[in-house]
Each structure stands twice: as C-alpha cells, then as structure tokens.
Amino acid sequence: MNYRRITRFVLVGGTATFITWALIFFLNDVLALFYIPVVIFAEIIGYTYNFFMNKFFTFKQHSKNYKRQASIFTGVSIGGILLNIVIIIFIVENFEMKAHIAKLISAIFVAGYSYGFHSKFTFKK
C-alpha cells in the first residue's frame, strides 16, 4: 500500500472539499442562493481542481494522455458528484442541516469511492 500517495490524495481531496465547502457556504449562506444549483456548481469547480492536482501531485502522471485520463476522471467524478448531491440532499431534507455541513459528511463517503476508482482506472500505471 502506497501511504504517501494516499496521504497526497487525502490532502488534495481535503483541499478540494474545502473549496467546494467554501463556495457552498458563501453562495448559499451568505448570498442566500438555493442550495441545489450551488452544490452542483461547487462540485464542478472542486472536481476540476481535483483532476489537475491528482494528475500531477498525487499520482505524478506527467504524460500527455489528457483525453483518456480526463474522460475516465470525468466519469468517476460524475459518479462522485451525483453521490455527493444525493447524500447532501438526503442529509439536508431529513436532518435539517445546512448544506455546507452536509457536504463535510458526504465527503467522507465519496473519498473512498474516488480513491478506489482513480487509483485503479484513471491514473493506473
């Protein structure tokens, strides 16, 4: 097991989670925009950051194979975004939590899903 790579993945994922969390907090709580489109927008920004940081920092993939990796990453990320959205909506609607708090909870579940798929398919060596 590559603990350095897992540590880098958690660091990148934590940063991406903070970015999405901050966007959700600002757009939903400060600007009072409806939380569902805010969550979708924030997830897209977070996953874009996540792709480039995981490609170059976590998995150290400096190949020019952007199309293949971006395609797989996008598929895995869409699954992660959908999983995040479902979990966030479930938590907000059933436990009356703020969306930015629900995002932190959902991130725990989505991290395992993402690492497994990205290490096995997106950035495999």
- In the chain, the number of structural domains is 1
Can you give the residue range of the structural domain that contains 101? Answer: 3-122
pLDDT confidence of residue 62 = 82
Q: What's the pLDDT at 25? A: 94
Residue 77: predicted pLDDT? 86
Question: What pLDDT score was predicted for residue 32?
Answer: 94
Q: What is the DSSP string of 61-77?
A: --SS-HHHHHHHHHHHH
**Mean pLDDT over residues 55-59, rounded?**
93
Cα–Cα separations (whole angstroms), residue 83 to 79, 110, 116, 117: 6, 7, 15, 14
Q: What's the rounded Cα separation, in Å, for the pair 13 and 63?
A: 22
Q: What is the pTM of this model?
A: 0.75
Instruction: Using the predicted structure, report yes or no on whether residue 19 has a pLDDT greater than 90.
Output: yes
